[in-house]
Amino acid sequence: MRIQNWGTFWAIAGYHVALLVLLPFAWGDFNWATFAIYFVTFVLSGFAITGGYHRLYAHKTYDASPAYEWFWLIMSMLSGQMSALSWSNDHRVHHSHVDTDKDPYNINRGFWFAHIGWLFESKPLPIDNRIVGDLLKNKRVVFQHDHYGKLFLLVNGVVFGIGCLFMSPLASFVGCVLLRIFTIHHCTWFINSLAHMWGSRTYSKEQTAADNALLALVTFGEGYHNYHHAIANDYRNGIRWYHFDPTKWLIWTSSKLGLVSNLKWVNNIRIQRTLVKNDKQLLLERIRHEIDETAHEFRTKLEELSKNFEGKAAELNKAYRELKDATDERRRVLLIEIKQLRRELQAAWKSWVSLTELTQQRYALAH
Ligand SMILES: [Zn+2]
Ligand SMILES: [Zn+2]
């Protein structure tokens, strides 16, 4: 490892060592308040990164009122991940150059580089007007960037002070500050490391980002990273209602309370139609030179199943269009039809996904 960024190295290595050394001494002074303050600040720091830095600033998936922005810009100090401006600058480069040398947390350089090494080994990327020009026009974001150090000390100082009311200063420093920064750092870094290694690649097969429900549990819903890389301008990362994505629930609830608006999301059928079209093209291209007998079968099956899916999707769209001006009686019939078609469409989608996985395995195309 060739360290270029010594300041960051000493800060991060220093607090890890401090935590390790001090934890056994502080442990005895921990009480219910330590865990309560730890938990509340951990949740706030997580949402500040996923709901604020990531989905609001880096990807602009919704609009927020100034008060809402201020709240998360201040709460983000609990996570110690530099300013929203620097974070979004790095993150937008990550999306446009994923898995290449220009990707700041390129997973092809290994788990440790993507997880933490990139912070030490590379000089911080300069703030580029062509990348974050929109954020440079946001006065709140620029203020937070310009006063980062002071705000970080102030917010964490307040948390430390509150902790001291309930426990010894050592317990407050270790339990309410260091431990929280340690956990939120590693949880966020897992998105750059594990979420680019471990999971399924349903939506974007050409790159390393993967969907992983287990990782979603510790990353406030960001574990559905394959979908996110495929469709980054969706306020959701887990698009199914049962996907554990507390950040999407937070944004949705905030929109119902009138704090945020203009939530961007992509209709599920439209996503699947695009995917089937792209996957088919990609896989047929990849097995173009295969001459064994099964390749012919795969080609026929890819054509057949994609056509089946497309047909069902077209029928469903037609039924939805007709529903708009249907009479009451026709409406009742159509709703039953739509229910049936939705079921058939999901079955067609499932068969399509298994076929693409089978093709990838058979011809060693999986990432
Ligand atoms: Zn992103
Ligand atoms: Zn990523």
The pTM of this model reads 0.81
What pLDDT score does 366 carry? 52
The bound ligand whose nearest atom lies closest to the alpha carbon of 235 is 1
Residue ranges of the chain with pLDDT lower than 50?
367
Ligand 1 centroid from CA 18, angstroms: 31
Question: CB within 5 A of ion ligand 2: which residues?
Answer: 209
The bound ligand whose nearest atom lies closest to the alpha carbon of 194 is 2
The bound ligand whose nearest atom lies closest to the alpha carbon of 204 is 2
Residue type, 168: S
Ligand 1 centroid from CA 192, angstroms: 10
Under DSSP, is residue 353 helix (H, G, I), strand (E, B) or coil? helix
The bound ligand whose nearest atom lies closest to the alpha carbon of 189 is 2
What pLDDT score does 320 carry? 87
What pLDDT score does 98 carry? 95
Q: How far apart are CA 199 and CA 355, in angstroms?
A: 18
Q: Of 122, 142, 147, 146, whose CA–CA distance to 132 is shortest?
A: 142
Domain boundaries along the sequence of the chain = 6-261, 268-362
Ligand 1 centroid from CA 60, angstroms: 10
The secondary structure of 235-286 as a DSSP string is S-SS-STTS--HHHHHHHHHHHTTSEE------HHHHHHHHHHHHHHHHHHH
